[in-house]
A and B are shown apart, each in its own frame.
Chain A
Amino acid sequence: MLFNSYEFIFLFLPTVLLVFHMIGRQGHQRVAITWLVGASLFFYGWWNPTYLGLLLFSILFNYSIGISLNNTHKVVLSKKTLLAIGVSTNLTTLGYFKYANFFVDNLNNLAGTNLILQQVILPLAISFFTFQQIAYLVDAYKGKTKEYNFLNYCLFITFFPQLIAGPIVHHKEMMPQFVKNTIYKIRSKNLAIGLTIFALGLFKKVVLADGLSDFSMPVFNAAELGITLTFFEAWSGSIAYTLQIYFDFSGYSDMAIGIARMFGIRLPINFNSPYKATSVIDFWRRWHMTLSRFLKHYVYITFGGNRKGEVRRHTNIIITMLLGGLWHGAGWTFVLWGLLHGFYLVINHIWRSIFKNRVESKLKIFTSWSVTFLAVVVSWVLFRAESLDSAKNIYLSMLGVNGISLPTRFKNILNYSWIEKYNIDFNGIIGNGIIKDHRELAVWITASLILILVFPNVQQFIYQRNYKLYNLKFIFIRWSPTLLWIGLTSIILIVSIVTISGDSEFIYFNF
C-alpha cells in the first residue's frame, strides 16, 4: 500500500490510528501493539502477500539470534559465531533476492556460459528490514540493546510508517517510546504536527516529484533508446531528476515521520536540506541520514574507519560507498554511482586536510555549493540511467560532445563562423523536442530550487525557532497552530489529494 493512495489516506491510516488509540486508552497496551503489528503486516501484504512469509521468517530468525546473543550462557555457540551466523544469513537472503540475477547475468557475460536463473522478484523493503535487523544484531552483540519480547520485536521491524523505505531506525531509539503510557492516548499536539508533516510530504511527492518526473523521464528514456540528446536536454533532464529524487524520497520520509508522530512516535530525520550542502562530506551528512549512519557505524568503522592511516581510511571510504551503491540496486550503474561518491569523498577529505584554515567568505561558500551541487547532479545520472550505455549517452551530451544548440535568435548576435568550429549551432535549445515545454521546465526547476535552497526544510519549519542560511538570517513563518497554518496545510492537503493519480510509486520502493 502506498502512502500516496486513497485507500491508505482515507481508510487504512484513520482506522489503524483510531483503533490503536481506542484500545490503548483503555489500558490494553499489549493489545494495541498487537493491533499495530497486525495492521503493519496487512500493510506489507497488500503489495504481495506471498512475501509476508519471508518477512516473518526474517523476523523470527533475527529475534532468535538476538535472544541468543543476550543469553550466551544458555547457548553452546559463542557470541561472535552467533553474530556471524545472523549477519551472514541476512546477507545471503538479501544477496539471493537482490543480486542473484545480476550475478548470473555477469557470470554468463564473462565466462560465456548460459546459466539460466528464473527471474527473482525483489521483495518489497527487503534492503531496509535486512539492514535494520543487522544493526540490531550488532547492537545486541555489543550489549547496547536487548529485546526479550517477540511482539515488541515484531513491532520494531514492521511498524508500517518506516517498514518500506525507512528511516532505518535503531531498536534503542524507537522501542523505548512504546513503553511510555502517553503514546496510547491521543494527543492533539502529536496529531497536529503529524498531520502537517504528512501533508507537506505528500505535496512533495505527488505535486513536486511526480511533476518533475514528466521532464526527467523522457530524457532518460530517450537516452536508453539511443537517441542523441542535445547539451541542454541532457542537463535539463539530469537537474530535473536531481530535484525529483529529493522531493520523492524526502517526501516519503516526511510522510513516514508524520504518520509515526500521529502515533506519538518520533522517528529520526532522514534529510536535512542536502542540496544546501557546501561539500560532498556535508551532503552525505544530510542525505538519507539513517543509511549514512548505518554505513558509517556498521561498515566503515568495522573496516577500521580512520584508525589505520590515511590510505586505509580512503580505501575504507571507497569500499563503504561502493557497498552503499550496491545496496541501492543490483547494477553496474549503482556500483559506479557508489564509487563516484567514494572518490568525491576522498577528494573532499584530501582537500580539507590541505586547506585546513581557510577563511569562509561568501564567494567561497557559493563556489563550494556550486561545485558540490554540480558533482551531485552528475552522479545522479548514473543512479537513474537504466544502463551504462544510456549514462554514457547523457554524459557525452552534458559535456557538449554532441554539440551545443543555441536559440535561433542568437545567430544574429553571435558571429556564426567563429563559433561553428566549436560544434555549436542555432537550432534552438529544445533540440529533439524531448522536453515537452522548456519554459514550463524552467519554471519547475527555478521554483524547486528556490524551495530547496532558500526555504527551511519541513523539520526546520516545525521544530526550529530561528532559521539561518549560510549565516544569513531569514524571516520565516515557524509552524504553530494558527489560522495561517490551518489555511496553508488545508490547501496543501487538498491539492495533494486531488493530484494523486494512478500508481505512482516512490523511487526508493525499488531498493
Chain B
Amino acid sequence: MAFFKYTKTILLVSIVALFIISAINFIVDPLQIYPSVFSYNKKNTYKSLAEKIITSKYGLITPKETNYNEFELKKSLLKYSNHTDCAIIGSSRSMQISSFRENSSLNKTCPSIINLAVSGASLQEYIDLSKILTTYPHVKTIVFVIDPWSLVSEPAYQWEAYKYFFINTPENNTDTLEKNSSTVSLLQNLFNYRYLMLSINKIFQTSQFSDFEVAPFFDTTIGIEDNVILPDGSTIPAISISNRGIINGINSYQINDAVSYNQNALKLFSDLVVQLKKQFNIVFVMTPYHPKVWELNNQPIVKIMESVESEIHVLAKSLNIATFGSYNPAKAGCLDGEYYDSMHMKDSCTSKLK
C-alpha cells in the first residue's frame, strides 16, 4: 500500500504543479502566443511611456537608475509609429540607427525608421519582434542588424511557438501534419521553465516611469547627462558613455561564446526570413567594431566575425536579400573616433550605412 500511495502522490503532486505552471504561462502569456480568451490583462504601463516618447519633440530622458523592459517599451512604441515604414531589429549595437537625427542612417532604404533594437538581442528577439511586426501593415521593410552572436543559439523559450506563429499566417500553405505538430509544440511550451520566468517577470512588473522626463533641445552628436530615447526609438547615450573610449584589456573585446553560429539557428533564421519576405522587404546590416578590436586578429573575435559575416553573405545571396555594412571597420569606413567604445558606433559611423 505504501508503494501505491508513494506513486499516486508523486503523480498527483507533479500533475498539479505542472497544471499550475501551464495555467500561469497560458494566462499571463508574455509573448501573446496563445488564444487571448483568458489572457492576463495587466495595465500596460509602457503604453503611456511610449506615448510620451512619441509626442516629445526631442525624446525622453531615461534616468540611469531606472530599470525598464526595453522589449515592452519598443513593442508599445510600435503601436504609435503610424508613419514609419522601416523597422530596425537588433541589439544595443544598432540603437543609434535613426532617421530622426541629423546624421540619419540607411536613408536610401529607410526614409522613416522605428528602431526596435533591444540590448543583447539575438534570434529570439528577431522572432518575437517579427511576429509583432506582421500585424503592422504600414511597416514595409525590416532591417535585421546581425551581430556576431545573433545566431549562436536557438531561441530558448519560443522555438516551438515560432512554428505555430508562422504556420498560422494566412499566406502559408503548410500541410496538416506540420500544423498538428506545431499545435503540439505550442502545448509543450506551456511547461517551459523559461517561459514561466518571463510570465513571472510580467506579473511582478510594477514600474510607472514617473521619473522619465522630456528632453530639452540638445546636440545629438554630443548627448546630455543621461541617456535619451528619441521619438524613433533610437538612443543617444549619456556623455559619460560617449567619453569612456576604448577599454583596455583583452576581455573587453570578446564575445562570450566562441560558437559563431549554430546551424539550427541559421536554418531557423533563414526560414524566418523566407516567411517574412512574403510581407516585407528584408535587409541585413552588419555594424563595424572598433578598429582596435579588428587589430586583434589572433583573437577569436576576429575569426568569429569573419566566419559569421561570410555566412550572412551566403544566406543573403541565396535569399536575394540586400546587405549593408561589415564588422570590419575598414570596409564600413568608420574611424577610431567614431565609437562610444569597442563595439558601439556613434551616429557619424552609422550614417555611413547606406
- Which chain A residues have a beta carbon within 8 Å of chain B's beta carbons? 6-7, 188-189, 191-192, 195, 199, 217-219, 221-222, 225-228, 427-428, 430-434, 436, 481-482, 485-486, 489-490, 493-494, 497-502
- By a CB distance below 8 angstroms, the chain A residues around B250 are 427-428, 431
5 pairs of A and B residues whose beta carbons are closest in the complex: A433-B254, A222-B258, A481-B6, A188-B4, A188-B3
Interface contact B191-A221, CB-CB below 8 Å: no
Interface residue? B69 (CB, 8 A)? no
Given the complex, which residues of A lie within 8 Å of B192, measured CB to CB? 498, 501
B330 interfacial contact with A, CB 8 Å: no
Contact in complex: B10, A486 (CB < 8 Å): yes
User: Given A192-B7, A225-B303: A6 and B17 within 8 A (CB)?
Assistant: no
Asked if B172 is at the interface (CB within 8 A of a chain A CB), the reply is: no
Point out the residues of chain B lying under 8 angstroms from A434, CB to CB. 257-258, 300
Tell yes or no: B168 within 8 A of A by CB: no
Answer whether residue B241 sits at the interface, using C-beta atoms and an 8 A cutoff.
no
Question: Given A486-B9, A486-B13, A494-B14, A218 and B303 touching (CB < 8 A)?
Answer: no
Contacts of B187 in A (CB 8 A): 6
The listed residue (B5, B193, B300) touching A227 by CB distance below 8 A is B300
Q: Kindly state the separation between the CA atoms of A6 and B300 in the bound complex, as whole angstroms.
A: 38
B256 within 8 A of A: yes
User: Shortest distance in angstroms between A127's beta carbon and chain B's nearest beta carbon?
Assistant: 25
B299 at the interface (CB under 8 A from A): yes
Within 8 A of A (CB), among B286-337: 298-300, 303-304, 307
Indicate if the CB atoms of A485 and B6 lie closer than 8 Å.
yes
- The reply to whether A493 and B300 contact each other, CB–CB distance below 8 Å, is no
For B299, list chain A residues within 8 Å (CB): 432
Interface contacts beyond A433-B258, A493-B14, A501-B192: sample of 20 additional A-B pairs, CB < 8 Å, sorted by A: A188-B1, A188-B7, A191-B3, A192-B4, A217-B259, A218-B259, A226-B303, A227-B258, A227-B300, A427-B249, A428-B250, A428-B251, A430-B251, A432-B300, A481-B6, A486-B10, A499-B193, A500-B191, A501-B159, A502-B154
Taking a contact as CB atoms under 8 Å apart, the answer to whether B14 and A481 are in contact is: no
Question: A498, B21: Cβ atoms under 8 Å?
Answer: yes
Q: How far is it, in angstroms, between the C-alpha of A489 and the C-alpha of B10 when the chains are bound?
A: 7
Q: B267: CB under 8 A from chain A?
A: no
Chain B proximity of A232: nearest CB distance (Å): 13
Q: Are A497 and B256 in contact (CB under 8 A)?
A: no
Cα A492 to Cα B194 with chains together (Å)? 17
Name the interface residues of B262-298: CB closer than 8 Å to any CB of A: 298
Find the A residue at minimum CB distance from B154: A502
Cα distance A499–B157 in the bound complex, in angstroms: 10
Given known A191-B7, A486-B10, A502-B154, contact A227–B303 (CB-CB < 8 A): yes
**Contacts A/B (CB < 8 Å), 11 sampled:** A188-B3, A191-B3, A192-B6, A199-B10, A218-B257, A218-B259, A225-B304, A226-B303, A227-B303, A432-B258, A498-B192
Q: Is B222 an interface residue (CB 8 A)?
A: no
Cα separation A219 to B257 with both chains bound (whole Å): 9
B134 CB–A CB distance under 8 Å: no
User: Which A residues are CB-close (under 8 A) to B303?
Assistant: 225-227
Considering only residues 15-61 of chain B, those with a C-beta below 8 Å from chain A are: 17-18, 21
Chain A residues contacting B1 (CB-CB under 8 Å) are 188
Size class of the contact patch on chain B: 35 or more
List, in ascending order, chain B residues with CB within 8 A of A436's CB: 256-257
Find out whether the CB atom of A433 lies under 8 angstroms from the CB atom of B256: yes
Tell me if B124 is interfacial: C-beta within 8 Å of chain A: no
Q: Collect the chain B residues with CB atoms within 8 Å of residue A192's CB.
A: 3-4, 6-7
Residues of A within 8 A of B300 (CB): 222, 225, 227, 432-434
Contacts of A191 in B (CB 8 A): 3, 7
What's the Cα separation between A195 and B307 when bound, in Å?
46
> Which residue from A226, A427, A485, A498 sits with its C-beta under 8 Å from B193?
A498
Is the beta-carbon distance between B9 and A494 smaller than 8 angstroms?
Answer: no
> Are A433 and B255 neighbours in the complex by a CB distance under 8 Å?
yes
Do residues B191 and A497 form an inter-chain contact, with CB atoms below 8 A? yes
In the docked arrangement, what's the CA distance between A102 and B187, Å?
41
Complex contacts, B247 vs chain A, CB 8 Å: none
In the assembled complex, the CB of B158 is this many whole angstroms from the nearest CB of chain A, namely 11
Q: B203 at the A/B interface (Cβ < 8 Å)?
A: no
**B10 and A490: CB pair below 8 A?**
yes
A225 touches B258 (CB 8 A): yes
Would you call A497 and B18 a contact (CB within 8 A)? yes
Quote the shortest CB–CB distance from B36 to chain A (angstroms).
24
Chain A nearest CB from B4 CB (Å) reads 4
Given contacts A481-B2, A494-B17, contact A195 B10 (CB under 8 A): yes
Q: What residues on A are CB-neighbors of B256 within 8 Å? A: 433, 436
Instruction: Indicate whether B132 reaches chain A with its CB closer than 8 angstroms.
Output: no
A436 vs chain B, min Cβ distance (A)? 5
Convert B147-184 into 0s and 1s, putting 1 for each residue whose CB lies closer than 8 angstroms to a CB of A. Answer: 00000001011010000000000000000000000001
Q: B188: CB under 8 A from chain A?
A: yes
CB distance from B22 to the nearest CB of A (A): 10
A431 to B2, CA, bound (A): 55
Is B86 an interface residue when CB atoms closer than 8 A count as contact?
no
B196 at the interface (CB under 8 A from A): yes
The verdict on B342 contacting chain A, using a C-beta distance below 8 Å, is: no
Q: Across the interface, do A432 and B254 meet the contact criterion of CB distance under 8 Å?
A: yes
Instruction: Tell me if B10 and A493 are in contact (CB < 8 A).
Output: yes
Contact B191 A498 (CB under 8 A): yes
CA distance A481 to B2 in the complex (A): 6
The chain B residue with its CB closest to the CB of A434 is: B258
Within the complex, what minimum Cβ distance (angstroms) separates B33 from chain A? 16
In the complex, which residues of chain A have a beta carbon less than 8 angstroms from the beta carbon of B7? Answer: 188, 191-192, 195
Question: Given the complex of chains A and B, what is the CA–CA distance between A67 and B21 in angstroms?
Answer: 54
Chain B residue nearest to A433 in the complex (CB): B254
B260 within 8 A of partner (CB) = yes
The residue on B at minimum CB distance from A479 is: B6
Of the candidates A7, A219, A502, the one whose C-beta lies within 8 Å of that of B159 is A502
CA distance A193 to B260 in the complex (A): 44
Give the residue name and chain of the B residue nearest to A199 (CB). Answer: B10
Q: Is the CB of A221 within 8 A of B14?
A: no
The CA-CA distance from A427 to B251 in the complex, in Å, is 8
Taking CB atoms, residues of chain B closer than 8 Å to A497 are 14, 18, 191
Bound CA–CA A188/B307 (angstroms): 57
Q: Roughly how many angstroms separate A431 CA and B300 CA in the complex, as a whole number?
A: 10
Pick the residue among B3, B10, B188, B258 that contacts A221 (CB under 8 A): B258
Task: Give the CA-CA distance A6 to B40 in the complex, in Å.
Answer: 26
**Contact residues in A for B4 (Cβ distance below 8 Å):** 188, 192
> Shortest beta-carbon distance, A193 to chain B, in Å?
8
List residues of chain B with CB within 8 A of the CB of A195.
7, 10-11
| Assembly CA distance A191 to B4 (angstroms) | 8
- Kindly state the separation between the CA atoms of A490 and B13 in the bound complex, as whole angstroms: 7
Q: How far, in whole Å, are A225 and B260 apart by their CA atoms in the complex?
A: 9
A493 CB contacts on chain B under 8 angstroms: 10, 14
In the complex, what residues of A have CB within 8 A of residue B249's CB?
Answer: 427
* Contact residues in B for A226 (Cβ distance below 8 Å): 303
Q: How far is the CB of B271 from chain A (nearest CB, A)?
A: 15
Chain B residues within an 8 Å CB radius of A6: 187-188, 191
CB distance from A169 to the nearest CB of B (A): 25
| Shortest Cβ gap from B251 to chain A (Å) | 6
Chain A residues within an 8 Å CB radius of B196: 498
Cα–Cα distance between A7 and B9 once the two chains are bound (Å): 22
Q: Given that A497-B191, A499-B193 are known contacts, is A490 also in contact with B3, CB under 8 Å in the complex?
A: no
Contacts of A501 on B, CB cut-off 8 Å? 156-157, 159, 192-194
CB distance from A123 to the nearest CB of B (A): 22
